[in-house]
Structure 1
Amino acid sequence: MGLLCSLFPQPPAEVSFVPTPPRRPAPPRPPAPGRPRRAPAPVPAAVRRGRPGRTRWGARLATALSVLVLAAGGVGHAIVTSLDTEIGRVDPFKDMKNRPAPGHGTNILVVGTDGRDRITPREKEKYRLGGAPCRCTDTIMLVHVSADRRRASMVSLPRDSYAEIPPHTDATTGKHHQRHPVKLNAAYAEGGPNLTVRTVEHMTGIKIDHYLELDFTSFMRTVDTIGGVEICTAKPMKDAYTGLDLPAGTHKLDGGAALQYVRSRHVDGASDLGRMQRQQRFMAALIDQATSNGIMLNPVRFQQVVTSMLSSVRASEGFGAEEMLALAKAMRGFTAASSEFTSVPVSNTSFPVKGIGSTVKWDPVKSKRLFAAVRADKPLAPYAPRSAVRKKLVEVSPQQIRVQVYNGTRMHGLGARADAALRATGFRTTAAALNWPRRDVARTVVWFDPRWDRSARSLATALPGCRLLPVAGQGAVFRVTIGTNFAGVLPVRAENAFQGEFGAVTGDQVICT
């Protein structure tokens, strides 16, 4: 997820996620239809201050966030308070000095750790969770809850990010280390939660208010308790390492299948970055499921879900059931549309470091702008009201596909109408349709360079009844010759429909429609 590629696909391979040009300021988000906007509820001061083969899946964050969402239903203070003893405690802020200045809103660092020692032998075999457990982090995510409690921004930090760990004493060996370069996930192995927080604060310039640590035991149990989660895929997904085997379409995943989905890194060429995108889609779907199926109004199911989630959670002091409940009440009305997802912009996914290997190098300019926006409590994704129109799922986002439209018929203005319809769906047309040399074209034709075959299929999906014709060396701009069979443009959307300056997308834009 976080790899911000060039604006247009480059040969020989395509990518399915790119940034769009710098955004204009987004208008204020209106309240949901039929639901009056609520003033933010008072929040206690404590809250205001607020490797290959290894399992790493940011979707566990959704279980933590769901606790806040579920508690907002007002099911009962006593239930949440009684579960406070289930939360393990850590002190990630001990003896920390020279910390960043606090910003607006609340910042929570969520860390996923290896928890396969809690999985049964049968589950290990079924979901391919072999190997010994390790003292390591497989997911690191920064969650920012806005000051008005109406938005949660989730920024994934790639585990292989190039990092420079501050001077510290190794938590395992007791040996003192000077500042040195590592991969970000090594901070936990060397210094636990404290060094992880220190390293993230140094890299982002953002002060962390709370720390939350989970393993995948609670993830599987929570997904099962919630009744499964629905995900969609535009193409078959198969990974021999995790056992994932999904045909294209819509699927409801139980806890084990969900774990396979969010762990898989061999289903496409994007590896860890593609997996993080799938993790984000899963989180959005889990939030949507938790806030739309009545769990918040059912005390029994609510307690079951919270108990499942808290069975393997550790959190910083001052972030217990009382604080979670207070924050949740302030976030009443939170939905998938209230969440936004992105990852740190990167400039190099294979940055070599002697003695460490290949690391992920953050883009120094774009990452600074991203974290400046988080500190300033600004939305990361441009506001876009969700369309009621059902859109066909495609592999490549229309915003990535450049199109020149030609009118191949004698119908005056047909080319211009087709251009406008494609542009309204998101395709990057020239907005200047031309006439084709022949005016007797019966069937619409999409001319494309074979190097961009996935984009061609996405464009063809939007033009029912068209014919695909490859043209070697044509380049990245697609040519569409409109024929007399043209009957309109079918709305489409991509699985990785990243938008805005930071490649951020809101949760309702990536869940199944």
Structure 2
Amino acid sequence: MPRTGAPRTGPVGGARRRPRWAVRVATALSVVVLASAGIGHAVMTGLDSDITRIDPFKDMKNRPHAGHGMNVLLVGTDGRDRITPAERRRYHLGGAPCHCTDTIMIVHIAEDRERASVISLPRDSYAEVPAAAGRPAHPIKINAAYAEGGPNLTVRTVENMTHVKIDHYLEVDFTSFMKTVDVLGGVRICTPRSLKDAYTGLDLPSGPHTLGGGQALQYVRSRHVDGASDLGRMQRQQHFLAALIERATSSGVLLNPLRFRDVVRAALGSVRADKGFGTDELLELGRAMRDFSPSSSEFTTVPIGQLGYTVKGLGSTVKWDAEKSARLFRALRNDEPLAAGKKKRGAPPADRAVPVDVPPARIRVQVENGTATAGLGRRLDAALASTGFLTTQRPANAADRSVRRTVVVYDPRWDRSARSLATALPGSELRPAKGRGPVLKVIAGSDFTQVRRVRAKAPAQPDPAVTTGDEAVCP
């Protein structure tokens, strides 16, 4: 069956600018999103055998401290040397491959698995390669780190620039992207004006369009449709990712095991990933993201300080705004929403409540009475619930009924939730208990008097403005 959305024919030649394969990143993100059906190993078994395993973290030392949530580095490499001459002509892919990453994105999955934040890093970003193994630190364009040292140096460079610890690495080929879009039945996008690019063959009138794999590839590659060049291209890529999420979550794919299997098989066709990102991780993440939707995603580009920043030996580069980008990546490390100032359903009121890192509505609590005072456990449970905490509403008696100081028992993986809960219980003691899981336990002591009101901190305002997925897709 011929692929839908085939591009129009056009000039092909070695002088053509290199294609930009950002959408291969969409393939990897779609794998995460499509796993949200919670389908078990009966469907997924064997599918990850298509993934080529690599070790991008080998011998890495002095890495950034782990933040909260999960950070995935998604890269698209120039793989035109793996396609046929006919496909090169059909999709306007002339020229020699650059063996570099022409698309780099950090995808942050929130700790509660209810939000995904996508940050695009311009391919020509001025970067500093860290010193290692006798190699001195030196300036570079961030996309050239791959050509110099493969996935390992790419991860090192991104971590050095962002101070964000990368948990997983996914490298995607554009052929899988086209197959994934086609298996989904196309992806719907809206263009406020006509888009035409002689370099990619894209020719779209204004209005809504359902793009098949080939035409979708043209859409996300195009950088000559306006004066925004690479920045405009990244914005279109982000809009396409939002539309891809919308298509995957609304088309019934997640509820149909056979379609789910076919889409995942297409998506994994040309993926390279670290050894720790396999079927179990996809399914665990998928089960936690069953209610994921376009409104759960947010997209932005690292703030730019100077376009055309000239560096000897590198030429024209893109220099980040140091202060604004530091603020953006700090928000990512702290697992904070990037879409500051946007009104969200269920947002806490602006009152005199004490700000905390994690909102009470995301913290689950089991209450125990550690005193001989009858009814204290029920009173504490009700007070926490009235303040917004998710209590079990089944308080119990602790084994020790002589507790003087109220105790918050928590799994170290949920330390921010524990600190937020302890803020609501002034004077309480934090007691780590590895392996406890996400439900925190409060043992009421004789010192308990009341629960202090708390609310989530306002997120830092990044620049440029953040777009949420539901704003990016067609009405």
Same fold (TM over 0.5): yes
Name the counterpart of 2:29: 65
Aligned partner of 2:271 among 285, 299, 313: 313
Whether 2:89 is the aligned partner of 1:131: answer no
* Correspondence for 2:462 among 501, 506, 509: 501
Residue 240 of structure 2: aligned partner: 282
* AA aligned opposite 2:233: R
Which of 43, 58, 63 is the matching residue for 1:94? 58
Post-superposition offset of 1:58: 2.6
5+ long unaligned stretches in structure 1? 1-50, 170-175, 387-498
1:54 Cα deviation after fit: 1.7
Q: Is the 8 A contact 2:16 2:199 kept in 1?
A: no
The aligned counterpart of 1:234 is 192
Matches within 5 A, 1:169-180: 177-180=135-138
- How far is 1:52 from its partner? 7.0
**AA at the equivalent of 2:462:** E
Residue 151 of structure 1 pairs with residue 115 of structure 2: yes
Code of the residue aligned with 1:288 in structure 2: it is E
In the alignment, the residues of structure 1 paired with residue 79 and residue 111 of structure 2 have an alpha-carbon distance, to the nearest angstrom, of 33
- The answer on whether the counterparts of 2:66 and 2:164 sit within 8 Å (CA) in structure 1 is yes
Q: Which residue of 1 aligns with 2:310?
A: 352
> Partners in 2 of 1:122 and 1:200 — Cα distance?
35
Aligned residue number for residue 446 of structure 2: none
2 CA distance for matches of 1:500 and 1:247?
A: 35
2:40 match = 76
Q: Which amino acid aligns with 1:273?
A: L
Q: Is the partner of 2:37 in helix, strand or coil?
A: coil
Deviations 1:453-492, CA, capped at 9 Å, x for gaps: xxxxxxxxxxxxxxxxxxxxxxxxxxxxxxxxxxxxxxxx
CA contact (8 A) 2:23 2:76 kept: no
Equivalent residue of 2:123, what SS? coil
Partner of 2:147: 189
The yes-or-no answer on 1:218 pairing with 2:176 is yes
1:205 maps onto 2:163 in alignment: yes
| The one of 213, 221, 229 aligned to 1:255 | 213
**In 2: Cα distance, 1:345 partner to 1:65 partner:** 22
SS at match of 2:45: helix
Query: Structure 1 pair 153/84, CA: closer, same or farther in 2 (3 Å)?
Result: same
Distance in 2 between the 1:129 and 1:209 partners? 33
**CA contact 2:294–2:468 (8 Å) conserved in 1:** yes
| Contact 1:150–1:334 (CA under 8 A) maintained in structure 2 | yes
Question: 1:297 deviation in Å?
Answer: 1.4
Query: Using a 3 Å threshold, how does the CA distance of structure 1 residues 242 and 313 change in structure 2: closer, same or farther?
Result: same
Secondary structure at the aligned position of 2:97 is classed as coil
Q: Which amino acid aligns with 1:224?
A: D
Contact 2:325 2:462 in 1 (8 A): no
2:319 to 344, 361, 364: 361
Tell whether the 8 Å contact from 2:300 to 2:466 is kept in structure 1 after alignment.
yes
Corresponding residue of 2:334? 376
Q: Residues 410-441 of structure 1, C-alpha deviation per residue, up to 9 Å, x if partnerless?
A: xxxxxxxxxxxxxxxxxxxxxxxxxxxxxxxx
The answer to whether the 8 Å contact 1:227/1:254 transfers is yes
**What is the CA distance between 1:385 and its match in structure 2?**
5.5
Alignment of 1:306-455 (within 5 A): 306-382=264-340, 383-384=342-343
2:248 and 2:21 mapped to 1: Cα distance? 19
Which residue in the other structure is 1:459 paired with?
Answer: none
Contact persistence 1:281–1:507 (CA under 8 A): yes
Q: Which residue of 1 aligns with 2:131?
A: 167
State the one-letter code of the partner of 1:501.
Answer: P
Counterpart AA for 2:311: V
Aligned-residue offset at 1:82: 1.5
- Which gives a bigger RCO, structure 1 or 2 (Cα 8 Å, sep 6+)? 1
CA RMSD of superposed structures (Å): 1.7
Post-superposition offset of 1:132: 2.6
CA drift of 1:168 comes to 4.5
How far apart in 1 are the matches of 2:70 and 2:78? 26
Deviations 1:169-227, CA, capped at 9 Å, x for gaps: 7xxxxxx6421111000100000011010111010011111111111111111111111
- Equivalent residue in structure 2 for 1:116, among 80, 92, 116: 80
2:231 to 250, 273, 276: 273
Structure 1 letter corresponding to 2:119? V
Q: What is the distance in 2 between the residues matched to 1:54 and 1:168?
A: 30
Q: Is the 8 A contact 1:188 1:195 kept in 2?
A: yes
Give percent identity, aligned residues only. Answer: 65
What amino acid is the match of 1:375? R
1:500: how far off? Answer: 5.4
Instruction: Give yes or no for contact 1:168–1:195 (8 Å, CA) kept in 2.
Output: no
Alpha-carbon distance in structure 2 between the residues aligned to 1:277 and 1:191: 28
Q: Structure 2: which 5+ runs fail to align? A: 1-14, 346-459
Please give the alpha-carbon distance, in whole angstroms, between the structure 1 residues aligned to 2:308 and 2:264: 39
1:38-79 C-alpha deviation (Å, 9 max, x unpaired): xxxxxxxxxxxxx97222243322222222222221333222
Match of 1:304 in 2: 262
Q: 1:311/1:59 Cα in 2 relative to 1: closer, same or farther (>3 Å)?
A: same
After TM superposition, give the deviation of residue 378 of structure 1 in Å: 0.4
Give 2:44's aligned amino acid: V
Q: Is contact 2:192–2:206 with CA below 8 Å preserved after alignment?
A: yes
Greater alpha carbon shift after TM alignment, 322-331 vs 77-86 = 77-86
Amino acid at match of 1:83: L
SS of residue in 2 equivalent to 1:185: helix
* Alpha-carbon separation, structure 2, partners of 1:258 and 1:285: 11
- Distance in 2 separating the partners of 1:365 and 1:305: 41
